[in-house]
Homo-oligomer: A and B are copies of this chain.
Amino acid sequence: MRTNLPVPERALAVGAHPDDIEFGCGATLAKWAEAGCKIALLVCTDGSKGTWDATTDPAELVVTRRAEQRAAARALHPDAEVVLLGWHDGELESGLRQRWEVAAWIRRLRPEVMLGHDPWKRYRLHPDHRNAGWLVTDGIVAARDPLFFPELDAPPHRPSTLLLFEADEADHVEEVTGYGDAKLAALLEHRSQHRSTMGIFSAPSGADEALHPDVVEFRRGVGDELAAHGALAGCAAGEAFHRIEGL
């Protein structure tokens, strides 16, 4: 098990839906950002299917989730950048048209480290996660070689390291002791997902939120996972990845 990359200058995380990045690597991003890294979150879909309430207006849900995603990014770090690609939730594809768009953003944002869903993860159901994973691997290849995109001004860019969360085979841990609160705070900003994803029913906003029993329970779950991942590398709290270098 390898641990703790040097803090990169710029890091770009790619997630399928609003909140996926925070679940996968929120504490790592918070840690790096505090240490001076410029972090960016690129969210592929608009989150428009993310509710159990059939009466929800999907367009209004999208507006809500964009605001939540921006607030969540600020909870990781005030200077976090957010890019919202806005593809339809539940229908994400990883064809050439989508790949080009992700690659163009890689060329614009020029991250040393990228983070994303592991597309080789077995037995995880959601096709959007799988396709968001392919968009990272395939987007890096298109971003790095100079003869792609002659129509763009942006020069090619080759990240040095890729960290895949939800890893089929974890071999790297970032220690995040002390950054669990930032991760939790970011996750809680996704209030529209409290019920369906976090098991939090009717928690109040504001100071009392932290005391609500569902929030307490959710915090325990997040903490348990950080502890379990950290234990892989003998540390108190961690986020586990599969790490690929020599991109």
* A134 contacts across to B, CB distance below 8 A: 127
A94-124 vs B, CB cutoff 8 Å, 1 = contact: the mask equals 0111011100110010000000000010110
B-facing residues in A56-102 (Cβ within 8 Å)? 56-63, 66, 84, 86, 88, 90-91, 93, 95-97, 99-101
The complex places the Cα of A142 from the Cα of B97 at a distance, in Å, of: 14
Enumerate chain A interface residues (CB-CB to B < 8 A).
46, 48-54, 56-63, 66, 84, 86, 88, 90-91, 93, 95-97, 99-101, 104-105, 108, 120, 122-123, 125-127, 134, 137-138, 140-142, 145-148, 151-156, 162, 164, 168-169, 242, 244, 247
Closest to A242 in B: B123
* A84 contacts across to B, CB distance below 8 A: 59
Write 13 A-B pairs (CB below 8 A) sorted by A numbering. Answer: A49-B145, A49-B147, A49-B148, A50-B145, A52-B146, A54-B156, A57-B66, A90-B148, A101-B151, A104-B152, A108-B151, A122-B169, A125-B138
The complex places the Cα of A198 from the Cα of B242 at a distance, in Å, of: 26
Q: A127-B134, A141-B90, A151-B104 are in contact. Are A168 and B122 (CB under 8 A)?
A: yes
* A127 contacts across to B, CB distance below 8 A: 99, 134, 137-138, 141
* A97 contacts across to B, CB distance below 8 A: 95-97, 100
A247 touches B152 (CB 8 A): no
- Counting every copy of the chain, the complex holds 6
* A122 contacts across to B, CB distance below 8 A: 120, 168-169
* A52 contacts across to B, CB distance below 8 A: 145-146
* A104 contacts across to B, CB distance below 8 A: 151-152
Q: A62-B62, A120-B122, A122-B169 are in contact. Are A146 and B244 (CB under 8 A)?
A: no
B54 touches A147 (CB 8 A): yes
- A-B contacts besides A49-B148, A90-B141, 15 pairs, CB < 8 Å: A48-B86, A48-B147, A53-B146, A56-B147, A57-B66, A58-B147, A59-B84, A59-B86, A96-B97, A100-B100, A104-B151, A125-B137, A125-B162, A125-B247, A127-B138
* A105 contacts across to B, CB distance below 8 A: 151
Closest to A61 in B: B147
* 9 tightest Cβ-Cβ pairs between the two chains A and B: A54-B146, A104-B151, A120-B122, A127-B138, A97-B97, A59-B62, A49-B147, A59-B63, A49-B145
The complex places the Cα of A123 from the Cα of B247 at a distance, in Å, of: 11
